[in-house]
Structure 1
Amino acid sequence: MKFGLFYVLECYDGKYEKAYNEMLEQIQYAEELGFESVWLAEHHFTAYGSMPSPQVAAAAIAQVTKTMDIGMAVCNLNFDNPVRIAEDFAMVDNLSNGRLKFGAGRGYQPVEFKGLGLEMKDTREVFWESVDIIKGLWYNDTFSYDGKHYQLENVSLTPKPVQERIPFYLAAISPATFDIAVEKGMTEFMCTPTLMDMNELKKYISETRSRMIKQGINPSIHMNLQMNIADTQEQAIKNVEKEMARYFDTVLNQVPGARGEKAAESYERFAEVAQEMSGPVDVKSLNEAGIALLEDPDTAIEKLEDIEKYGITSMSNWFRMGDMEHRKVMKTMKNFARDVMPYFKPTGKKTITQ
């Protein structure tokens, strides 16, 4: 299993320049520590995330790193024209010398759709047309398309991606999306324990993987997980109690149905989770449910080995959550790289200079 970083880049104080610079410093340090990827999330209009154009962040990251893959987790395909998305990320693939990993989702926060002047109906239809178009433009010299929402005639990208085939991950966090991944013949998908706890998520991953293998597909599965590593579980929980409470208070106020309105069709599960998690955030319970990994190194290794058994091929470690202080992010990155990551390297345990 390979390890990377993940960012929504919450920014509650509005000091975006500082947040971006700290992120770039963390990513450069992560590459030195041996992390193999970084994954970025697109969000709009709230402190929950400050990367409305993750392709811009990806282009910047490409210039300050040499080896790390640069992943999207995710690009929201309902928010822009798919031709522009294909163009932008073809540029990123060129600027990074072929290090792009593309993850796609359909978005879920009502405030984002409203701010962009969009409705939350037909998002699945638009999403899958966008998937077809982006892949068609990347993998063909010219591409035409006649869909319900988009029509193209003999379009050719300039530039073309460097990679012959850019890895294309489907964000799957609900049971319905896992089923769709199989139906659509996807070969890569990404998941995170949010709408399901870890045990339920592992069940769906296992079932989905088995169904894909029966179709002749050995899927690449990426997981994203909030994480903190310390000398003891108690210290790891203490390290992030404030930040995780802040994060969940923020995100649960943004999901469909959170403000009393009726959730749009196909988003009902988000509203159910918001209701289930109403009230004070219990970080210890979230850790016990596997929604986060807040542990000492030995226990973290044990839990990650169990996750790996389900076919997880890569993981993005969500160290910077709830607008966590820069120094704390750097410390837990170092702890993980020194005490956990070497056990998942074929060369065995390594020592990182203090």
Structure 2
Amino acid sequence: MDFILMSEGDTPVGLTHEHRYRELIEEVLLAEQVGFDAFGSSEQHVAIGTATVSAPEVLYPYLMALTSRIRFIHLVTLLPTRMNHALRVAERIATEDILSNGRIELGTGRGNTTLALRAFEVDPTENKSQWREGIELIRRAFLDDPFSFVGEHYKVPPRSLVPKPLQTPCPPISVAAGSPSSVETAAKMGIGAIMGGFYLGYDLVENMLKLYDETLAAATHDYPITPRKMVLVSGGMHCAETTALAREQARPLFEMSKLSTDAFGRLAKLSQDYAYMGAVNDVDFSDEEYLFERSQGFLVGDPEHCIEHVQRYADMGVESLVLRVDSLPHDQLMRSIELFGKYVIPRFKHPRNVVRPADDVLAGIRAARPAHEEALRRFQSENKPAEAVR
């Protein structure tokens, strides 16, 4: 399983965006040091609270120059035509791929706030088809030379992409998939699906994972594919020395979650393509036990408690876990990243290298002694000197 640190640069009242961005840089550098596989941020425009990263394609190259191992994933690049022309996205991703020495990934979406969609004059009844054509155009630009495209939203004559990306066959592509139909679309297209984010429980996510597997197995693809089962923990991951402390510190995340999902109900009424988002209105954001333990929106606790939650995802077959680590004081975020990287990630990346308690090791040694003594007796019996045998 890959572990992806997600931050949106949530900036509290009284702090400057400049200061928060400097903190975010420190958090990414620590994430690389302690073993996270990738960092990602969403593309949010004119947001009120919860997110300030409107230009991740500018932020990432700065971070790429400061790092050497950690990958970068756009979570997500918005593909309505009024926000990002798909050909410009292909050019930017190829450039980032070169600058990072092959450490970039493209997550995509169509927007989930009325603030941004209305600011860019995006029609919510059309942006799904714009997203789909955008993905097709980007893949052709990456994989065909020359490429061309004719559709409802894009009409590109034969051209050759400049520059070309480094990764083969192309940088991995995925999509934010909040509904079963989006999961099916991702699998049919052979791209990754970023599932979760609606606080509706583990069963929904598990069913989506199964649907993705089944659809992918039944699909045929014209292009090389980049399938991947990804799950988003959108409310937040927070790891502390004790579960009680982690919960106490993480409670402010409930308000962030309510604010970030506030537009979902309005979007559900604007377009049938967003109807599934209305289900978040049934979530009780005052039910602490549900949110922390059953909503799938949070991963909060001491290292051992976090390990139990991650194991649940591992048992489902999740390949990448996207963990939002944001909206809390910088010192708490840094400690959370450090604890998760030192004590949780190794249990899934390098379990044989994790030091066990001495009592556990001794118990294993004692349990193995009878078999060893029996093997020793057989060896001695089979290798007696010839005189002793006579």
TM-score w.r.t. the length of structure 2 is 0.82
Q: Residues of 2 paired with 1:57 and 1:12: CA distance?
A: 20
Partner residue, 1:34: 35
Residue 249 in structure 1 maps to residue 231 in structure 2: no
**Which of 335, 338, 341 matches 2:342?**
338
Query: Mapping of 1:93-104 within 5 angstroms?
Result: 93-104=97-108
Per-residue deviation at 1:5? 0.5
- Tell me the CA shift for residue 309 of structure 1: 2.0
Within a 5 Å distance, the mapping from 1:202-217 to structure 2 comes to 202-215=206-219
Task: Summarize deviations over 1:69-94 as a string: whole Å, max 9, x none.
Answer: 10111111112111111111111111
Per-residue deviation at 1:155? 2.1
Aligned ranges 1:189-208 → 2 under 5 Å:
189-194=193-198, 196-208=200-212
Q: In the alignment, residue 338 of structure 2 is paired with which amino acid?
A: K
Deviation (angstroms), 1:187:
3.8
Residue 125 of structure 1 and its aligned partner are, at CA, apart by 0.8
Q: Is the 8 A contact 1:170 1:186 kept in 2?
A: no
Counterparts of 1:67 and 1:191, CA distance in 2:
25
Q: Give the equivalent residue in structure 1 for 2:177.
A: 172
Q: What is the distance in 1 between the residues matched to 2:184 and 2:242?
A: 38
Q: What is the rounded CA distance, in whole Å, between the counterparts of 1:340 and 1:199 in structure 2?
A: 23
Partner of 2:243: 233
In the TM superposition, residue 218 of structure 1 has moved relative to its aligned partner by 9.1
What are the Cα deviations for residues 96-146 of structure 1, in whole angstroms up to 9, with x where unaligned? 011011111111211101111222121111111000111111122221111
Change (3 A) 1:349 1:330: farther
Please tell me the root mean square deviation across aligned C-alpha atoms, in Å: 2.1
Aligned length: 343
1:262 aligns with one of 259, 263, 269: 269
Match in the other structure for 1:122: 126
Give the Cα separation in 1 of the matches to 2:79 and 2:288.
32
Range with bigger deviation, 84-93 or 217-226: 217-226
Task: Indicate the structure with greater helix content.
Answer: 2
1:285 corresponds to which residue?
Answer: 290
Please tell me whether the aligned partners of residues 227 and 318 of structure 1 are also in contact (alpha carbons under 8 angstroms): yes
Letter of the aligned partner of 1:307 in structure 2? Y
The equivalent residue for 1:144 is 148
Aligned-partner residue type, residue 251 of structure 1:
S
Query: How high is the sequence identity, in percent, across the aligned residues?
Result: 23
* Equivalent position amino acid for 1:297 in 2: P
Distance 2:316 2:217 in 1: 13
Q: Which amino acid is 2:9 matched to? A: L
Secondary structure in 2 aligned to 1:52? coil
Equivalent-residue separation in structure 2 for 1:156 and 1:39 (angstroms) = 29
CA distance in 1, matches of 2:16, 2:297: 29
Aligned match for 1:326, one of 330, 355, 364 = 330
Shift of 1:167: 0.6
1:7 alignment counterpart = 7
CA separation in 1, counterparts of 2:199 and 2:303?
26
Q: Which runs of 5+ in 2 are unaligned?
A: 356-390
Q: Cα distance 1:245–1:302, how it changes in 2: closer, same or farther (>3 A)?
A: closer
Alignment-derived partner of residue 310 in structure 1 = 316
CA shift, 1:30, in A, is 1.1
Q: Distance in 1 between matches of 2:304 and 2:218?
A: 35
Alpha-carbon separation, structure 2, partners of 1:132 and 1:198: 31
Contact in 1 for aligned 2:60/2:72 (Cα 8 Å): yes
CA contact (8 A) 1:189 1:222 kept: yes
Question: Amino acid of the residue matched to residue 250 of structure 1?
Answer: L
TM-score by structure 1 length? 0.90
Query: Shift in Å at residue 214 of structure 1?
Result: 4.2
d(CA) in 2 for partners of 1:338, 1:199: 29
